[in-house]
Structure 1
Amino acid sequence: MRALLSVSDKSGIVEFAKGLEALNFEILSTGGTYKLLKDSGIKAVEVSEYTQSPQMFDGRVKTLHPKIHGGILFKRDKDADEAAKNGIEAIDLVCVNLYPFKETINKTDDFDEIIENIDIGGPTMVRSAAKNFANVMIVTDKNDYDRVLKILQSGKNELEFRKELMIKAFEHTAAYDSMIANYMNSRFNGGFGAKQFITGTKVFDTRYGENPHQKGALYEFEDFYSKNFTALKGEASFNNMTDIHGAVMLASSFGNVPAVAICKHANPCGFAIKSNVYESYIDALKCDPLSAYGGVIAINGTLDRHLAQKLHEKGTFMEVIVAANVTDEALEVFADKKKTKIFTHNSEFLKRANEQFDFKHIDGGFVYQERDFVCKSELKDAKCVTDKEATKAQIDDMLIAWQVAALTKSNCVVYVKDSMMVAIGMGMTSRVDAARAAVAKANDMGLDLNGCVLASEAFFPFRDSIDIAAKVGVKAIVQPGGSIRDDEVIKAANEANIAMYFTGKRHFLH
């Protein structure tokens, strides 16, 4: 039996080669892998010696040879005579992982270096071995080394196992080529080339999708969730993950501050930033405790025993708690809460990946865009368009309201007072309906809106929403501006002695 080992990531390769050698495999290898194996006492044969053909063009051509690909590709039950006639000997196992293209583009912008880290021989060998999986084992994942050795040792190298390795192999090369194509389009076509590839790695299956009759799973870009998402209690569902996304995006939007966000169906129903996460939770819950019941809470800090006991109180139920970190004592508090799920980022504050793109499925395809972020300068550079200017405290509240509005389904309006969201209207077909709904809910909750600020993620088309704001005592408004009736809207604000700021930037979320 013969194995060809050529890996960029050399973790575990020596132990794997020793295991193969103990099973009487002849080892072929290339370049750095060959040197490492030889230095480790393994009787490896360099590919150029095996093929009697030198490496050429600074290593660009090493394994592209009939003795290599013929040995991988020939059908053992049909092509044995032709292989023997042409001096082709079987290669029964191929272990390859590819040049570190991702690592290269992360560390340099030197295009010549980037080009040289595009693997050619590696993907070709992987695809050859995967195509002939009926006869050849293809190993592309270092986490499979021990399992492969155990299968070989047991003599149960069955087709189903090789099929599983084959699928992994094609996933490996597809993701690799997709990464290169996306990079080239990003570099030369502004990220919007003729093809767009979205690839992810499965983290776990969800119990089902949005509904019980749908399958679901979480996939990650890079290794974000593998590194930053730990289940301490319960399993995350498909809907949990979309709600967690909304809550974490909001709670982490203001940096290293003790923010708490409560979301239901991916929309905020509570938010506050106070001196600590306990106080932030108390105030976040005031906005809409009815909607918060059974929701998702994101804590930009530590879930300790004190906060856990408050969350555990009778009449309070959060289906999902995600915190930057969770103490053992806090976890014990929820031992009797079977339906409460707890997750952590294992860090001081919540983490976010902040990819630069965004996409959404539509029937027959998907729409793809640059991701929307609220720039810190948006409110700082906003233009006051009214006679009255906002106070420093009002500007601080407008900053919160503006960020919450950007992360809430359009049409939306957000009312904030003393660093706490006191009312919100979202997902309405008209902005004035959003304003009315928010005020009605605040009245139901017994919340006083007098002295609050208001943010709208898009312009007000009419003065009606301003009139509603004036009646409840709003003192400052931030919005993009840009309506053909801006003058009418500004006039309404001046009549009510409200400060109004235009940012010039819209933040629709559909």
Structure 2
Amino acid sequence: MKKALLSVSDKEGIVEFAKELVKLDFKLLSTGGTFKLLKENHIEVLEVSDYTQSPELFEGRIKTLHPKIHGGILYKRDDENHKNQAKEYNIEKIDLVCVNLYPFKKTTLMSDDLDEIIENIDIGGPTMIRSAAKNYKDVLVVCDILDYERIIKTLKEGKDDEKFRLDLMIKAYEHTANYDSYIANYMNERFNGGFGASKFIVGQKVFETKYGENPHQKGILYQFDDFFNHHFKALKGEASFNNLTDMNAALNLASAFDKAPAVAIVKHGNACGFAIKEGLLQSYTHALKCDSISAYGGVVAINGSLDETLARKINEIYVEVILAANVTKEALAVFEGKKRIKIFTQENPYLVRPYDLYDFKHINGGFVYQNSDEVSEKELKNAELKSERKASEGELKDLEIALKIAALTKSNNVVYVKNGAMVAIGMGMTSRIDAAKAAIMKAKEMGLDLEGCVLASEAFFPFRDSIDEASRVGVKAIVEPGGSIRDDEVIQAANEYGISLYFTGVRHFLH
């Protein structure tokens, strides 16, 4: 008779799975709470301690760590030496191992008690999973409750071939690697400020993209903590690799102002339009004015509901992607005849984004890792006034918008905002004065009047030339980090032109 060892922390579906295994002539072994649950449901099962004739020890820390368990899992069925040893030591084969692990992560979210957290580090579970996975040709290893039905169906059909078992083996090692990675990362976060000797980046596959950045590259979306499962629904079209990176930039910007009716337009990772007006329709209209040429084929992120009126306005030009907090049926119908447009929703009142504590970037041979950047709510409030003139209340609101856009835009950049809308932006330049000039030139092309606008820079102005340039178009207030050896010249220039100048002391490079 075949044997199956069942020992699970998450007991959802285990009773049904056990009953089906019994029907398939499996003899069941189990431990602790799983054993108790199976007995309560009148399922014939033998407790592991009775099977091994060895008691559970040290408050259950030792239960399955026994030669009759691991020998039964690990010995090679087609190896005569292994078979003889198994017979000599009365070790019977175990053909299926179903284990999921102590809820370490859940415990860390619910408790800060280190002793309790340590007790929820599973030892026997990962060991059994790894043993079964190593001997996958002879042993089925089960660690995902979503696989129960598929495994029973496969066993009934006699299709549990090596390929099927190999897939389960890979999933098993992914499972234990994920588990150990979370423990290591948690301990480094708790005791080493998040920066240990090793760093483990773990994600779960969501879907494959058609290709990567280019057609010859493969692309896949992986997620942390189920974010995309809960906050990303495709209503029309499939997201490409490049769509996802652009949507990320648009989401970060559109969601940066709480419940404000913000609309962001992004192309190639940078904002080409942004506004917060009295409503989403007005916000989109003013966002589009900043650079309607670049907006063509771009991504629009809407911090609220995409309704029919706004949909008709957006439909006047070609945008490739719309990401909205929610979408009405009437709005979706507007785009029914447009094959190329893609529409995604989070099905929330407002856009939400996860805040990852850390950020990383691949470089050849490894990756660089850092705390995530963020414009704090107090950054502008605590900024130091360096000029003689103070900004008005309206200018301060515009400075906040400009500052957040600048922080989320490729360096070097400068951002011009007027009455709640971005009116010019220069980004990704090798010099700040070039960014300033490029932004002003684009604004002129778009027929936008910059008189009375504000300006933000994500890093300090190395020379006064950008202030001189700002004065020519009527900039009234500027926010920047400060810290240049020529800050005095920059302050002097601001005073010459009657421009309000604030230093935040915080740089926001984005490379």
Q: TM-score, normalised by structure 2?
A: 0.99
Aligned to 1:382: 383
Question: Any idea what the Cα deviations from partners look like across 1:433-456, whole Å, max 9, x if unmatched?
Answer: 000000000000000000000000
What residue is the counterpart of 2:358 in the other structure? 357
Kindly indicate whether residue 450 of structure 2 is the aligned counterpart of residue 449 of structure 1.
yes
Q: For residue 351 of structure 1, report the CA deviation from its aligned partner.
A: 1.2
Do structure 1's residue 220 and structure 2's residue 223 form an aligned pair? Answer: yes
Q: Distance in 2 between matches of 1:334 and 1:34?
A: 56
Partner of 2:253: 250
Instruction: Output the CA distance in 2 between the equivalents of 1:255 and 1:194.
Output: 37
1:153 is matched with which residue? 156
Matching of residues 12-31 of structure 1 within 5 Å: 12-31=13-32
CA-CA distance at 1:257 after TM superposition: 1.3
1:33: how far off?
A: 1.2
Name the residue aligned to 2:481. Answer: 480
| Counterpart for residue 427 of structure 2 | 426
Q: Distance in 1 between matches of 2:322 and 2:36?
A: 50
Q: How do residues 41-120 of structure 1 correspond to structure 2 at under 5 angstroms?
A: 41-78=42-79, 79-120=82-123
The 2-side partners of 1:434 and 1:400 are apart by 18
Deviation at 1:108, TM superposition (A): 1.0
Alpha-carbon distance, 1:74 to partner: 0.5
Structure-to-structure mapping, 1:129-168, within 5 angstroms = 129-168=132-171
Q: Give the aligned CA root-mean-square deviation in angstroms.
A: 0.7
Output aligned runs, 1:407-418, within 5 Å: 407-418=408-419
- In structure 2, the residue matched to 1:340 is 341
| 2-structure distance, mates of 1:274, 1:35 | 61
How far the C-alpha of 1:328 sits from its partner, in A, is 1.3
Partners in 2 of 1:439 and 1:147 — Cα distance? 61
CA–CA distance in structure 1, aligned partners of residues 359 and 216 of structure 2:
27
Residue of structure 1 in register with 2:506 after alignment: 505
User: 423-432 or 273-282: which moved more?
Assistant: 273-282
Match for 2:422: what amino acid? M
Between the two proteins, the alignment pairs up a number of residues equal to: 508
Deviations 1:264-321 (A, max 9, x none): 00100000011221111111101000000000011010111111111112xx011011
Counterpart code for 2:306: L
2:264 aligned residue (261, 265, 269)? 261
- In structure 2, how many angstroms separate the alpha carbons of the residues matched to 1:504 and 1:32? 56
Q: Tell me the distance in 2 between the aligned counterparts of 1:412 and 1:191.
A: 30
Secondary structure of the residue aligned to 2:167 is helix
The aligned counterpart of 2:318 is 317
Structure 2: how far apart are the matches of 1:403 and 1:135?
57
Unaligned runs of 5+ in 2: none
Question: 2:266 and 2:425 mapped to 1: Cα distance?
Answer: 12
1:112-160 deviations in Å (ceiling 9; x for gaps): 0000000000000000000000100001111110000001111121000
Distance 1:176 1:387 in 2: 57
Partner of 1:287: 290
Deviations, residues 394-442 of structure 1 (Å, cap 9, x unaligned): 0000000000000000000000001100000000000000000000000
Structure 1 residue 341: deviation in Å?
0.5
Q: Which residue of 2 aligns with 1:304?
A: 307
2:469 aligns with 468
Q: Distance in 1 between matches of 2:40 and 2:415?
A: 66
Aligned match of 1:123 in 111, 123, 126?
126
1:466 partner SS? helix
Amino acid at match of 1:70: G
2:291, 2:13 → 1: CA distance? Answer: 53
Tell me how far apart the structure 2 counterparts of residues 99 and 329 of structure 1 sit (CA, whole Å). Answer: 47
> Residue 165 of structure 2: SS of its match in structure 1?
helix
Q: What SS is found at the alignment partner of 2:339?
A: coil
In the alignment, the residues of structure 1 paired with residue 94 and residue 231 of structure 2 have an alpha-carbon distance, to the nearest angstrom, of 40
The CA distance in 2 between the partners of 1:326 and 1:20, in whole Å, is 45
Name the SS for the 1:294 alignment partner: coil
Partners of 1:12 and 1:240 in 2: how far apart? 38
Structure 1 residue ranges (4+ consecutive) displaced by more than 3 angstroms after TM superposition: none
Structure 2 distance, partners of 1:148, 1:329, is 43
Residue 81 (structure 1) shift: 2.1
Secondary structure (helix, strand or coil) at the match of 2:163 reads helix
Give the C-alpha shift of residue 32 in structure 1: 1.2
Partner SS, residue 324 of structure 1? strand
Identity %: 66
Residue 193 of structure 2 corresponds to 190
Per-residue deviation, residues 478-508 of structure 1 (Å, max 9, x unmatched): 0000100000000100000000000010000
Corresponding residue SS for 1:377: coil
Deviations 1:239-279 (Å, cap 9, x if unpaired)?
00000000000000011111100000010000001122111
Determine the C-alpha separation between the residues in 2 that align with 1:227 and 1:38: 36
SS in 2 for 1:421: strand
1:8 Cα deviation from its structure 2 partner:
1.2
Give the secondary-structure state (helix, strand or coil) at the position aligned to 1:379.
coil
Cα distance in 1 for partners of 2:75, 2:216 equals: 44
| Alpha-carbon distance in structure 2 between the residues aligned to 1:376 and 1:251 | 16
Name 2:242's counterpart in structure 1: 239
Give the residue type in structure 2 aligned to 1:266: G
Offset of residue 31 of structure 1: 1.1
Q: Which amino acid aligns with 1:333?
A: V
